[in-house]
Amino acid sequence: MSTRIVVAALILLLGLAPFSRAQEGDYEQRRQRMVQVIREMEPRTPEAVGSFQEKVLEAMAEVPRHVFVPRRVRDRAYANRPLPIGRGQTISQPYIVALMTDLLRVDPGDKVFELGTGSGYQAAVLSRLVNEVHSMEIIPELAERAESNLARAGCDNVRVYQGDAYYGLKEEAPFDAIVVTAAAGHIPPPLVKQLKAGGRMVLPVGSPFLTQQLTLVRKNSDGSIATEHLLPVSFVPLTGGH
């Protein structure tokens, strides 16, 4: 068997084959419908009532979510629901991704840290809005796959690390914003320390496998912390030795 055939077979096996023009056109239509659904839902929390920032919806409309889901669930890539990505993890519901992104209130020159890369989708959305995204994933297989997904989506300003993100990333701190995509029983102190004054962190706080509270953490100019519980959510639990 020729090398070319072997490589082609591996590409198909891993689900890395390029999508046809017809497929891409269909995905584009589905993505626009997904964004319209999110637009109509609106960010109804005490912090943000009214409408999403337009730049957040534009980012959601640009990122190809189908690239970040396994082949077996790709036909549901643009449904407004979480989907399994393997190893007991999920890609979050698009509405929740939009809401958490909106709550961060990021600017183009910002540097963002993400705890829990997963498939890379949240990082990809943020990459359309900020200068740098640093994302850490504790499961090696997912970290490697996320790097591949992000490369396919053209997200060259995202850096993926493999490790326990509970302790943040000291060498790149401080961060303008931090997003946590797994449920923690408490707000991780190392992340609070690595958040810039004036910065924001959004994370689900609560017990594993129960309803948690989506929580907004704001670090004031004097270093004091203000927290606000926004709405009930359900995330997979944070893993690691804490």
Q: Which residues are catalytic?
A: 92
Contact 133, 112 (CB under 8 A): yes
Strand partners, 119: none
- Say if residue 223 is exposed, middle or buried (CB neighbours under 10 Å; 0-12, 13-18, 19+): exposed
Cα-to-chain-centroid distance, residue 35 = 16
Q: What contacts 9, CB < 8 A, 6 or more positions away?
A: none
In this structure, the number of other CB atoms found within 10 A of the CB of residue 200 comes to: 20
- Ranges of beta strands (E only) in 22-96 are 83-86, 89-91
Q: Is beta strand 89-91 parallel, antiparallel or unpaired with respect to 83-86? A: antiparallel
Beta pairing partners, 86:
89
**Which SS3 state, helix, strand or coil, does residue 139 take?**
coil
Long-range Cβ pairs for the range 146-154 (8 Å, 24+): 146/117, 146/118, 146/119, 146/120, 147/120, 148/16, 149/67, 149/68, 149/119, 149/120, 149/121, 149/124, 150/120, 150/123, 150/124, 152/16, 152/67, 153/63, 153/64, 153/67, 153/68, 153/120, 153/124
